[in-house]
Structure formats: structure tokens, C-alpha cells
Amino acid sequence: MAQAQELTVTYRAVYNTQSPDLFADAGLDEEMRSSLASAYKNVFMDYQLTYKDGESDFRILPLKEKQEITFMGRTVDISESVKQQARNYTYKNHAAGIILDQVSVFGKDFLVSDSIRSAHFTIHPEATKTILGFECVKAVSADGKTTVWITHHIPLRDEPIACGLEGLILAFDNGQQTYTATAIEDKAARAIVRPQGDKPMTRKAFEEMVKKRVEMMKRNR
């Protein structure tokens, strides 16, 4: 496939329920964290990457079918929370080298800015597999926490995550979830709109704000 000018890729994500990192930031003791992780063993989410002329939009899609988890004796329909998450998305402008995340937390919308900084990944050329008819090669991040499967047949760099390698990522495992492409179309599924809002926060400032709010909530339990 030539250099993509328009592209839509749908990914299905499943939870790595055996990972000690899953829900590690939820403020739960280990027994409860493990129980919550197990509750997600049959849950999946669909995400979509839309790319057009150097701009992209990556977001979760609303669930098409009801999904429930059982935790602490309660059955919870997670469809509503996913619907709320669908308001959030990550915008990239490759020419400008910027990322803008529209994020809704604590009942408020935030705009988080960052630059497209590619982490260092090492290709393992001996490890290959085919996804949706495209041959992919394995690459692993320097810290060993993220594995991607990238195809050089679609030379779209740093999508949907920045790995510094030429080619589209068709599967990746970040230690908590595994994403695998389920469909590719050579057209944009939606208009790509740069998120607007209050003055953007840096990612560092946003993460510090969230950390302080979570710690405050823990103290007030």
C-alpha cells in the first residue's frame, strides 16, 4: 500500500487480566485489584484510528452490545462508562509534531498537550505474523513494557502510538491491554477535528493534578 493519505483502522482491545499492572493505579489492595482484574476477563473494547492528510484521531467506540462485570457481589453494566469515555480522544498533527488529548475526569473536561516523542523500540526481524493480510514484524520498547506488531506495507509512522518506526502498528500490548486490528479501510471514517477548550495543560501538569486528586480522595474515604 502506498503512503496513506486517508485511513481508518478499527482495533479490538482485551484486558491482560494476569498482569500485576492492570488497575494498579486504582488505589486498591492487591486482593481487590486482582479480583477486579479477573472481572474483566471477558470484556473487550473497540477503538478506532482515523487518519487524513497528516492528522489523526484515536478513540474508543461506544459498545454495540451490553457488557457486564461482577465485582464485590455486584453486577455492573460497563456500557455507560464506555459511552462517557467515547467523548475523549487523542488528536495528532504530524506536521506540527503535537498531540492533544481531550480528557474528561472528575466531572470536568481537560485539554492535555504534548509533543510526538517516539520512544525507542527494537525490531525483532525473526518474529513475524500476518494481521488482516499484512505481514507484521515484532518490536519491543526499551523498557520491555510495550510490544508492537508493525507492518511496513503501510508506511504510516507513529500510529496509533509513537514508536519511531516506519509503518503502521496493527497490534500492540502495553502490559494492561492487548490491541489487535480487526478492520482497515482506505477512507476516513469521520472528520478530524482539533479539540478546543481551555488553555491546554502539559502532560506532566495533568498527571500531577490527577495524582493529587486521587490521593485526596483516598484520605477522605
C-alpha separations of 152 from 3, 138, 155 in Å: 10, 11, 6
pLDDT (0 to 100) of residue 2: 46
Please count the other Cβ atoms lying within 10 Å of the Cβ belonging to residue 140.
Answer: 18
Radius of gyration of the chain (CA): 18
Who has greater pLDDT, 137 or 157? 137
Centre a 10 Å sphere on the Cβ of residue 89 and count the other Cβ atoms it contains.
22
**How would residue 106 be classed by pLDDT, with cut points 50, 70 and 90?**
confident
Reference 45, options 73, 25, 16; nearest CA is 16
Phi–psi pair at 155, nearest 5 degrees: -75, 65
β-strand pairing of 108-115 with 201-202: parallel
Residue 185: what residue type?
A: E
Q: Where are the domains of the chain?
A: 6-116+176-220
CA distance 195 to 59: 13
Reported as a single tens digit per residue, the pLDDT across 21-51 is: 899 877 788 999 999 999 999 999 999 999 9
Question: Which one is predicted more confidently, 43 or 83?
Answer: 43
pLDDT at 4: 60
Per-residue pLDDT band at 213 (split at 50, 70, 90): confident
What would the mean pLDDT of 127-151 be, rounded to a whole number?
Answer: 96
The tens digit of pLDDT for each residue in 108-127 reads 888 999 999 878 999 999 99
What is the average per-residue pLDDT within 91-114?
Answer: 90
Longest dimension (CA), the chain: 55
pLDDT of residue 33: 92
